[in-house]
Amino acid sequence: MPTIDQAKRLVQNRSNIVVLTGAGMSAESGIPTFRQAPRGLWAEYSPEHLATPEAWQADPALVWGWYLWRMGLVRAAVPNAGHVALAMAAETHTIRIVTQNVDDLHERAGSGDVLHLHGGLFAHRCFACARPHGEVAIPDSGTTPMRVEPPRCAHCGGLIRPGVVWFGENLPEAAFTQAVAASAACDLMLVVGTSGIVHPAAGLPLVARDAGAAVVEINPLETELSAVAHVCVRGSAAAVLPEVLG
């Protein structure tokens, strides 16, 4: 396929690569995208209504139960061939991953340079004082009850929340600043499995292109970022990345 050959040549001829990954990157590991309808016990709830500070303050046990369910899904998942290909490519290329995903599949695949723009599902912290909190007990996937009282902070007694960015909250400043700097300095950006509709992350490929980098999109579907890309490869991350990076 000509576009895969073009993408491979770009990878071979570039030394500083940034990879922007979205929900499609993890979907092939069995993690539903955020906008897919919740299943099982959670089918009647909208993620957009649960992932807000207001929802937490109104019913923290409900929101904590929802996130425990999501943690169980992630813990049961394994990195797919796309995650593994990126980790292996870092042995011969300078690769920084900027992800919109809150799971830890990049790290579990072996990638060490990962910026999480939307926080981390397992980076628990206190809602009141923001101090970090250690690991929590995570039920097996599919067995999470509807409501679970969150743990308490050892420092102030506040409720422990997931370390993700909720609707209405700002991105982690340090992570986003580093992501912008990396995008402006790279000579190739791979845009993998993201719809391109969530800002400000969706603006990073344009930052890279304006700075002179080549942009390659890997996605089964045309997206809002397709027009920004120099090369668009239509396929999934697990199918395309091993070939492009191999």
Q: How many domains does the chain contain in total? A: 2
User: What pairs with residue 99 in β-bridges?
Assistant: 21, 116
Co-location of 178 and 243 in the same domain: yes
Do residue 150 and residue 241 come from a single domain?
Answer: no
Q: Are residues 110 and 144 in the same domain?
A: no
Centroid of chain to Cα 150? 24
CATH number of the domain that 131 lies in?
Answer: 3.30.1600.10
- Do residue 154 and residue 213 come from a single domain? no
pLDDT digits (tens, 9 = 90+) for 208-243: 999 999 999 999 999 999 999 999 999 999 999 999
Query: Is there a single domain that holds both residue 22 and residue 133?
Result: no
Tens digits of per-residue pLDDT, 36-78?
Answer: 656 666 777 887 788 999 999 999 999 999 999 989 989 999 9
The residues carrying an active-site annotation are 118
Q: Domain boundary at 129, 164, 199, which?
A: 164
Let me know: does 204 contact 190? Beta carbons within 8 Å. no
CATH classification at residue 237: 3.40.50.1220
pLDDT, tens only, 180-218: 999 999 999 999 999 999 899 999 999 999 999 999 999
57 and 112 together in one domain: no
Q: Quick one: 59 and 99 in the same domain?
A: no
Q: Which long-range contacts (CB under 8 A, 24 or more apart) does 103-107 make?
A: 103/26, 103/31, 103/74, 103/77, 104/74, 105/25, 105/26, 105/29, 105/31, 105/74, 105/77, 105/78, 105/79, 105/80, 106/21, 106/79
Percent of the chain with pLDDT over 90: 83
Task: Verify that 175 and 241 share a domain, yes or no.
Answer: yes
* Predicted TM-score (pTM) of this structure: 0.93
User: Does 220 share its domain with 234?
Assistant: yes
Same domain, 37 and 106: no
Q: Which of 133, 164, 195 is the last residue of a domain?
A: 164
The DSSP H or E segment spanning 20 is strand 16-21
9-29 tens-digit pLDDT: 999 999 999 999 999 999 999
Average pLDDT over the chain, rounded to whole? Answer: 93
42 plus 24 within the same structural domain = no
Domain that includes residue 140, residue range:
32-76+120-164
* Residues 190 and 225 occupy one common structural domain: yes
